[in-house]
Amino acid sequence: MAVNISSSGPAVSPGDDILEWKTYSSLQQVAEISSQWDELITSAPCNRAFASKEWFTASLHKESSWTPFVVAGWRGGTLICIMPLVIDHEDETAKFPHHAADYNDVIVRHADTNLAVHLASHAFASSRCRRMVLSKLRFDSCCARAFPALCASAQFKSTWREIDSYRYASLAGNFDAYLNSRSKGFRKDIRRTVRDLERNGFVVRELQADRFDPPDLPELLIALAVARHGDRCSFTRTEYAQRFLRDVLPPLFRNGHLRAFAMFTGERIVALDLCMVSQRGLATWNGGFLPAMERYSPGSALFAFEIQQAIACGLQEFDFLRGDEIYKRSWSNSSYVVGELELSR
C-alpha cells in the first residue's frame, strides 16, 4: 500500500501556532505516530480502547475493500486531533472501521468542539468520497456536538439519525448509595450473591499486567466465552475474530486502556469480565465463565465489584454498551442515545 502523507500549509517548527493537517494512508505511517496517538487519547473524552491505534489497525484486516484514511491535526509539533477512518472502495464511503467497537468518535484534545468541526470538514473534503458515514456516536461525543456547526456548511449536507440507546449506571457517592437507587429486590439479590461467594471461598479481584501475562488474556477470554456459550460464541466463528483479540487485547491491557476483572477459586480463574476505559468510567465489553459457576451469578458479582472499583477511582459511570438485555435494565439508571452522522456531497 502506498504511503500518502499530505499537509495543508507549510511545515511548522516547534512553538508555531499554525494548524497543519496530515493524512496517513498506510499502516507504516500510522505506526510512526503511535506514541503521539497514545498520548492524545489520555486527554480526549473518547473511549480509550475503542479509539486506540491497536483497535484501528486490527480492524483494517476485516474487509479487503478498506484502505486507511487517518486525518490528523498538528500544532507546534504536537498532535491535537485524529480522525481514524478508512475509505471503503466498494461504496466510495469514508467511515470508522472499528470492529466490535460500541462507540466511535474523533480523538480531540480537551473535547474541543470547534476543532472537531474543522477536522470532520477537512477529512470529508480531502477524502473525495461521495459520503462520510460516522456511526455509533454517543450524543455527547465530539462528532455529535459538531453536528449543528456542520449543518451550517454550504459545501455538504449533514444528516443525523438516532440508531440505538445504550444503558449505563450513573455513579455518585459510594456503592451503598448506588444500590439504594435500585429496587429492594435487586439490592437483596446482589448482597446475597456476594455473601454466597464469600461463603464458598470465591474471590473477585482485578488482574494486573505485571502479574498476569497479557498474551494470555485473549486465550482466557476465548476459553471462558466458549465454556459459557458453546457453538454460539462469536469469537470462534472466524480466524479474523480470534486474530483480532490476540492483536488488540494484550497491548490495551498492558497500557491500561482495558481493565480485566476475574473470579477465582484458589488460583484458578472461573469467570472473567473485560472493561474498556474512558475519562468518565468503565464499560463492560465481554467475558465468560465456567458452566458450574452459573448458580453463583458470576456476572452480578463481577459487576458489583467493578462498580465499586469505578467509584473508588472517582469515575462517574459504568456503561453496559450495546444491547437491551433484561439484566442491563436492572443495573442501569440512565441511558445514552447513540446515533449516526452522515456527510454527503
CB within 8 A of 191, min separation 6: which ones?
Answer: 179
| Contact between 334 and 139 (Cβ < 8 Å) | no
CA atoms within 13 A on the CB side of 188: 3
Rounded CA separation 148/17 (Å):
27
* List of domains in the chain: 6-165+338-344 (3.40.630.30), 172-315 (3.40.630.30)
Nearest to 44 by CA among 80, 84, 20: 80
Other CB atoms within 10 Å distance of the CB of residue 324: 12
Which triple of cell numbers denotes residue 262? Answer: 476475574
Please give the pLDDT value at position 10: 35
Please give the pLDDT value at position 17: 78
Please give the pLDDT value at position 3: 34
Going from the first residue of the chain to its last (345 residues), give the mean pLDDT of each consecutive group of 10, the final group possibly shorter. 37 62 95 95 95 96 95 95 97 94 95 94 95 96 95 91 96 89 92 94 96 97 93 88 96 97 96 96 96 94 97 96 93 95 94
Which triple of cell numbers denotes residue 244? Answer: 483480532
Please give the pLDDT value at position 16: 58
Which triple of cell numbers denotes residue 135? Answer: 456511526
Per residue, the 3-state secondary structure of the chain, as one string, reads CCCCCEECCCCCCCCCCCEEEEEECCHHHHHHCHHHHHHHHCCCCCCCCCCCHHHHHHHHHHCCCEEEEEEEEEECCEEEEEEEEEEECCCCEEECCCCCCCCCCCEEHHHCHHHHHHHHHHHHHHHCCCEEEEEEEECCCHHHHHHHHHHCCCCCEEEEEEEEEEEEEECCCCHHHHHHCCCHHHHHHHHHHHHHHHHCCEEEEECCCCCCCCCHHHHHHHHHHHHHHHHHCHHHCCHHHHHHHHHHHHHHHHHCCEEEEEEEECCEEEEEEEEEECCCEEEEEEEEECHHHHHHCHHHHHHHHHHHHHHHCCCCEEECCCCCCHHHHHHCCEEEEEEEEEEEC
Q: What are phi and psi of 104, to 5 degrees?
A: -125, 160
Please give the pLDDT value at position 62: 92
Rounded CA separation 277/271 (Å):
20
Please give the pLDDT value at position 278: 95
Please give the pLDDT value at position 331: 96
